[in-house]
Amino acid sequence: MRYSALSIFKQALAGNLGWKPAWREPQPKPHYDVIIVGGGGHGLATAYYLAREFGIRNVAVVEKGYLGSGNVGRNTTIVRSNYMLPGNEPFYEFSLKLWEGLERELNYNVMLSQRGIISLYHNDGQRDHYVRRGNAMMMEGVAAEQLDRETLKKMLPFLNFDHARFPIIGGLLQRRAGTARHDAVAWGFARGADRLGVDLIQNCEVTGIRREDGIVTGVETTKGFIGCNRLALAAAGNTSRVGEMAGLKLPIESHVLQAFVTEGLKPCIDHVITYGAGHFYISQSDKGGLVFGAEIDGYSSYAQRGNLATAEHVMEEGVTMIPGLSRVRVLRAWGGVMDMSMDGSPIIDRTPIDNLYLNCGWCYGGFKATPASGFCFAHLIAKGESHHVARALRLDRFERGFPIDEAGAGTQPNLH
């Protein structure tokens, strides 16, 4: 069924009795060409692009919970491509271009809102860094604008410009950045993949990976053994656990990242704003709630919840940047399990096992990368070689001495 204004009108006249489920609930087949472990945004996008772009439709996505129950539904929904390093900027710009045509392609409203992102800076060193980042973006053909203090005061009068320690002196603006509805992205890719014949198998946890003669032959699951020709891992914060089932020790750690949403307010924040004196970022949802977050909790964990000390720290950063936040009530919080790589950049690559493929290490950047991650991972699985915008995202770059360290924090995952 194709969604449209006309279909909504017709269904309203018919009492809304003709809507069909967005996807099937199939039982697993004995064997697939490709099995994707992880029914989040990246796994679902990979399945969709495998079927649509490369004609591989005998595909199963296995998810231990319900579709979208992981990080794709536990983030602050920011979409952007304002990166600096050559290994990152072309990839995330490719993703942003896919975002811009995603609703039409999927026939699904992912609620993309290109409201722009403003990255604030507070001293001369940060100003120089953002000038360099803006120049790097423009060298890749991506528009970037430097905003001075007076311009920012007109655009964002509620900010604390005269903080004694962290005065705001300017910002970097990417107008094409913005937000999207996280759940809708998962549902859109799931519906699109299902329509192309992909089996989406929920509540099916992988408990083991079977190998024979050095290659993967299938996965042991709570619904029995499922065979495959190729196995793709897109399990986000649980990637290290699943990788261990195949004997892989991966260069990632799992950390919790908390997010928060407030009571609904009248429209007051028109952009996504990031705080240069910390790692605080904030936007306003269509329902009026302020959605924000900051740093990861700092210690390894697989729990989808965070600690109160980090929650307090996030609130302190927010009130420092926007004093008016002190009068707003926080309604709820949640946590996602981040797969933090050693350099803060992702991995899309083959593994030492010939028919086992890896998609992980997304750190803070997983949601915004969803379309490009799925497209490039599908390209790798289908053709056996990396897409040109993802060639730098290799698993062996740490061994070879080619990290993509956007933050300049070194090989410590919890600092990226």
Each residue's pLDDT tens digit, 351-389: 999 999 999 999 988 999 999 999 999 999 999 999 999
| More confident: 1 or 182 | 182
User: Where in the chain do CATH 3.50.50.60 domains reside?
Assistant: 27-78+84-93+100-105+182-252+343-415
Query: What residues are paired with 289 via a beta bridge?
Result: 264
Q: What angle do CA 155, 161, 167 make, to 5 degrees?
A: 135
| Nearest C-alpha neighbor of 201 from the set 55, 37, 42 | 37
- Tell me: domain 27-78+84-93+100-105+182-252+343-415, CATH 3.50.50.60, correct? yes
**Span 11-33, average pLDDT:** 94
Alpha helices, H only, 223-264: 239-245
Torsion of CA 324, 326, 328, 330, to 10 degrees: 140
Q: How far is CA 62 from the centre of its chain?
A: 19
Tokens of 329: 């009530």
pLDDT band at 39 (very low <50, low <70, confident <90, very high): very high
pLDDT at residue 413 tops 80: no
Query: Residue 285 and residue 27: Cα distance in Å, rounded?
Result: 37
| Nearest C-alpha neighbor of 240 from the set 335, 381, 360, 75 | 360
Q: How far is CA 127 from the centre of its chain?
A: 27
Query: Residue 192 and residue 197: Cα distance in Å, rounded?
Result: 9
Tokens of 296: 């990861």
Query: What residues are paired with 284 via a beta bridge?
Result: 290
pLDDT at residue 144, rounded to an integer = 97
The 3-state DSSP class for residue 133 equals helix
CA distances from 4 to 105, 109, 218 (A): 13, 10, 40
Q: What is the pTM of this model?
A: 0.96
Q: Please give the DSSP secondary-structure letter assigned to residue 23.
A: S
| Strands 31-37 and 252-264, sheet pairing | unpaired
User: Where in the chain do CATH 3.30.9.10 domains reside?
Assistant: 114-178+253-338
Please, what is the average pLDDT of the chain? 95
Query: Residue 270 and residue 317: Cα distance in Å, rounded?
Result: 19
pLDDT band at 314 (very low <50, low <70, confident <90, very high): very high
Tokens of 179: 């937000």
* Rg, C-alpha atoms of the chain: 21
Q: Please give the DSSP secondary-structure letter assigned to residue 228.
A: E
Torsion of CA 385, 391, 395, 400, to 10 degrees: 120
Query: Residue 341 and residue 349: Cα distance in Å, rounded?
Result: 14
Contact status, residue 355 vs residue 229, Cβ threshold 8 Å: yes
Q: Which position has the token pair 């996030």?
A: 314
Contact status, residue 91 vs residue 71, Cβ threshold 8 Å: no
| Strands 215-221 and 206-212, sheet pairing | antiparallel
Region 114-178+253-338: CATH code:
3.30.9.10
pLDDT at residue 172, rounded to an integer = 98
Tens digit of each residue's pLDDT (9 = 90 or more) over 239-298: 999 999 999 999 999 999 999 999 999 999 999 999 999 899 999 999 999 999 999 988
